Amino acid sequence: MLNFLTVRDFVIVDRIELEFQPGFTVLTGETGAGKSILIDALGLLLGGRAEAGVVRAGKDRAELTAEFDTTAVPALADWLKEQGLEGDEGICLIRRQIDASGRSRAFVNGQPATLQQLKEAGEMLVDIQGQHAHLSLLKAQTRRDLLDGYAGLADLAGKVAAAWKEWQALKRQREAWEENSAAFAAEAEQLRWQVKELETLAFDPDQWQELQADHARLSHAATLLEGAQYGLDLLDEGDMAVLSQLSGLSSRLGGLVEYDASLKEAQDAVDAAEIQLREAAYGLRHYAQRLDLDPERLAECEQRLQAVHSCARKYRVSPEGLPELLGQWRERLASIDVGEGGEDLQRREQAARKDYLDLAGELSAGRKPAAAELSEKVTAIMHQLALAGGRFEIGLTPLAEGAAYGLEQVDFLVAGHQGVAPRPLEKVASGGELSRISLAVQVTVGRVAQVPTLVFDEVDVGIGGGVAEIVGKLLKGLGAERQVLCITHLPQVAALGDHHWQVSKSAAEGGVTSRIAVLEREARIEEIARMLGGVDITSTTRAHATEMLGR
């Protein structure tokens, strides 16, 4: 559940720190006081899109922080660990900053997080129902989501959608094959020939480098041999060989050292040079002996080089690009070469269709009893909301070919009076009836919701009198099972709250500031009396407010 909420420099809020309690909490106040700002703040913390206009005028940024107790949501703990966002055990801390430029940053347990991660976490923590939530009942997607959520089929519905997507992709591929089979066959034949050509060429990047090095050596073998022999003649084998002269110089210096020891350093340098040059001569001799003057090998290298370059020019790539081209051809061939007449593709399509039908059939089997049960429960609450005799039904209309959401269309049907056949909700319900039916659905679904916190933002608009008291009792009963927050204008609802907060606004330096106060009994009497009587609060109005609280 929601433990704490801190809002700073957000719209008309300078700074508010709120501590939440379990049960049913009501928020009341004059129109425009900023009651819905709290809902907006929660919405942003749970992944809503931010705009620069939410930052309080004259401030650089708005900052929102919420702390949730997650002990009742084990799935969230697993998700946080999976995402690398775990924090203190049993606690989830979400923070979001919005700059005046509109840029925002989000954090979960102190770690940077994406908006998608906020949304995923928020779906497990809070369910927000707005005052126009009844309009969403007119949307087919909302109806399906409500039924599947109530029945615990949301995961299965996701699998059905994935199976449908896979089936349809294979179906389109098979249809494209049938329409273009001749073209595909010709393309496949050409690709097979091209793949075979490159496979026969057997181009290897490492061997290619070695081949070029071998060719360079073999094609210049005579020049290399001549250069090596010239070095040998100069160093050791010629008439005026350097090594012979150095040897003589070393001997002569050795005789002179007896007379002047300072020549020893020069003699050592000559000896060292002689050693280095003898090693060079040995290396040149060994190189000349093993140098290969092999015209046949040279011809082979030239033939291989020509074959590779010819193939590369033919397909307009560099020699090094041939392996990548071969991979592309193989991939394309695999996508279109699916056997004679596309039989393999047909088998894959049929297997995908069967997978979809199996999952969709399981989804349908789960929807039917859930639809009957939900219809009965919503009807019972409708009767409490001054819709006696009315009836709510969830219709499951079969679809011949199925769809991404299953084998049936989910319709919400309503009969306004006893004995009248149910008709689609949007065709028979007035605005007030639609609001009450929506509330009945929300309360019913909320009782089985997995999220620990339910927020109702003025869902009681258009309701009054005794019905308003029933609405308050329904929300209070829901508060015994979940943490429930409700923004309301109805004193009958406000009087039934376990906790009562008053939202007000006042002039402050530089603009208007919103404030929230926790009301005790006397203050609650005054607030409910204001909601009952308007500007002039009389003793009779206060007595009525006291009586309502007493009930």
Segment holding 395, helix H or strand E: strand 391-403
Note every long-range contact of 331-336, with CB atoms under 8 Å and residues 24 or more positions apart, other chains counting. 332/187, 332/191, 333/188, 333/191, 333/192, 333/195, 336/177, 336/184, 336/187, 336/188, 336/191
pLDDT over threshold 60, residue 550 = yes
pLDDT value for 235: 74
Q: What is the mean pLDDT of residues 361-389?
A: 91
Strands 91-99 vs 453-457: parallel, antiparallel or unpaired: unpaired
pLDDT band at 246 (very low <50, low <70, confident <90, very high): confident
Provide the percentage of residues in the chain whose pLDDT is more than 90: 27
pLDDT winner (highest mean) among 3-7, 236-240, 338-342 = 3-7
Q: What is the mean pLDDT of residues 480-507?
A: 89
Provide the percentage of residues in the chain whose pLDDT is more than 70: 87
Q: What is the 3-state secondary structure (H, E, C) of 403-453?
A: ECCEEEEEEEEEECCCCCCCEEHHHHCCHHHHHHHHHHHHHHHHCCCCCCE
pLDDT value for 109: 93
pLDDT band at 143 (very low <50, low <70, confident <90, very high): confident
Q: How many other C-beta atoms can be found within 10 angstroms of the C-beta atom of residue 33?
A: 20
Segment holding 359, helix H or strand E: helix 343-384
Strands 111-113 vs 104-108: parallel, antiparallel or unpaired: antiparallel
Amino acid symbol at 103: R
Residue pair 42/455 in contact (Cβ under 8 Å)? The answer is yes
Residue 12, SS3 per DSSP: coil
Task: Give the start-to-end residue ranges of the domains of the chain.
Answer: 1-131+458-517, 197-334, 520-551
**Higher-confidence residue: 460 or 317?**
317
Cβ-in-10-Å burial (0-12, 13-18, 19+) of 235 comes to: buried
C-alpha to C-alpha distance for 97 and 120, rounded to whole angstroms: 19
pLDDT value for 489: 86
Cβ-in-10-Å burial (0-12, 13-18, 19+) of 255 comes to: exposed
CA dihedral 88, 92, 98, 103 (to 10 degrees): 90
Residue 481, SS3 per DSSP: coil
Sign of the torsion formed by the C-alpha atoms of 52, 57, 58 and 62: negative
pLDDT band at 396 (very low <50, low <70, confident <90, very high): very high
pLDDT over threshold 80, residue 499 = yes
Superfamily of domain 1-131+458-517: P-loop containing nucleotide triphosphate hydrolases (3.40.50.300)
C-alpha to C-alpha distance for 415 and 408, rounded to whole angstroms: 21
Q: At what angle do helices 74-83 and 115-125 cross, to 10 degrees?
A: 170
Q: Which of 161-170, 262-271, 293-302 has the lowest mean pLDDT?
A: 293-302
Q: What is the mean pLDDT of residues 497-514?
A: 81
Q: What is the mean pLDDT of residues 328-333?
A: 86
**Higher-confidence residue: 156 or 290?**
156
pLDDT value for 220: 58
pLDDT value for 506: 79
Tokens of 498: 């376990």
pLDDT band at 185 (very low <50, low <70, confident <90, very high): confident
User: 492 CB contacts (<8 Å, ≥6 apart)?
Assistant: 468, 469, 471, 472, 548
Task: Please give the backbone phi and psi of residue 153, each rounded to the nearest 5 degrees, phi first.
Answer: -110, 10
pLDDT winner (highest mean) among 210-224, 319-333, 458-472 = 319-333
pLDDT over threshold 90, residue 441 = no
pLDDT value for 288: 62
pLDDT value for 160: 96
Q: Which of 152-161, 298-307, 380-389, 513-522 has the lowest mean pLDDT?
A: 298-307
pLDDT over threshold 80, residue 70 = yes
pLDDT value for 496: 92
User: How far, in whole angstroms, is CA 283 from its chain's centroid?
Assistant: 65
Q: Which of 4-13, 155-164, 251-260, 405-414 has the lowest mean pLDDT?
A: 251-260
Task: Find tokens 């329409």 and name the residue.
Answer: 179
pLDDT over threshold 70, residue 423 = yes
For residue range 452-491, list pLDDT tens digits in order.
888 887 766 667 778 888 888 888 988 888 899 988 888 9
pLDDT value for 298: 62
pLDDT over threshold 60, residue 111 = yes
Q: What is the 3-state secondary structure (H, E, C) of 248-265?
A: HHHHHHHHHCCCCHHHHH
Segment holding 522, helix H or strand E: helix 521-533
> 483-510: b or e for each residue (b if 16 or more CB lie within 10 Å)?
bbbbbbbbbbbbbbbebbbbbbbeeeee
**Higher-confidence residue: 262 or 372?**
372
pLDDT band at 428 (very low <50, low <70, confident <90, very high): low
pLDDT value for 501: 92
pLDDT over threshold 80, residue 156 = yes
Q: What is the mean pLDDT of residues 141-153?
A: 88
Using alpha carbons, list the distances in angstroms from residue 477 to 333, 441, 472. 64, 15, 9
Q: What is the mean pLDDT of residues 257-286?
A: 79
Residue pair 45/4 in contact (Cβ under 8 Å)? The answer is no
Q: What is the mean pLDDT of residues 12-23?
A: 89
User: 295 CB contacts (<8 Å, ≥6 apart)?
Assistant: none
pLDDT band at 14 (very low <50, low <70, confident <90, very high): confident
**Mean pLDDT for the chain?**
83
Residue pair 172/335 in contact (Cβ under 8 Å)? The answer is no
Radius of gyration of the chain (CA): 42
